[in-house]
Amino acid sequence: MKIDKSLSDLIKEQVKLEKEIAKKFSTLEQRVDSVAAKLLIREMQLDTKKHAEILEAALEAIGGPKSFWDYTIHIDADKRAVKKELEEHIKAEETMMSQIGEEARKTDDEALKLLLNHFAEDEKRHHKNLETIVNKAYKMEI
Ligand SMILES: [Fe+2]
Ligand SMILES: [Fe+2]
């Protein structure tokens, strides 16, 4: 990856903004008076913190000579064992997806349904992420 100062600057600005917003959400959460509003705000607050943390970590690799997949960190771990563990996580995500689906079918509460649907989307993404990791970095046969 080419050194892209302006990308780094943009990301730094975004991290700052995400952190400010996360703080504001946590105050706002205490000022809203319904459980649904509180939970939805908390969810956004955690998303915002997540964005800040991931972008901060990405900043360390940006500007390096390699792309993120090629930029490897020396780790003392058995690749085969890690692959097996990743595959176990894929199964766990499947279990969570069906669990959440079942919960969403059992509730008539609109806000809870909405939150559960967000989580189902998250789990789908987690599942795909794990598959991407296995396919991109753990292609070898066990
Ligand atoms: Fe964000
Ligand atoms: Fe998950």
Give me the mean pLDDT over the 50-78 stretch.
90
Q: What's the gap in Å between 109 CA and the centre of ligand 2?
A: 23
Cα dihedral 113/42/47/133 (nearest 10) = -60
Q: Which ligand is nearest to the CA of 129?
A: 2
Give me the mean pLDDT over the 57-61 stretch.
91
Q: Which ligand is nearest to the CA of 95?
A: 2
From 122, 116, 114, select the one nearest 99 (Cα to Cα). 116
From 12, 46, 11, 9, select the one nearest 26 (Cα to Cα). 46
Whole-structure pTM value: 0.86
Distance of CA 9 to the CA centre of its chain: 22
Q: Which helix (H) or strand (E) holds 84?
A: helix 79-106
Instruction: Give dist(CA 97, CA 125) in Å, integer.
Output: 10
- Taking all residues of the chain, what is their mean pLDDT, rounded to a whole number? 93
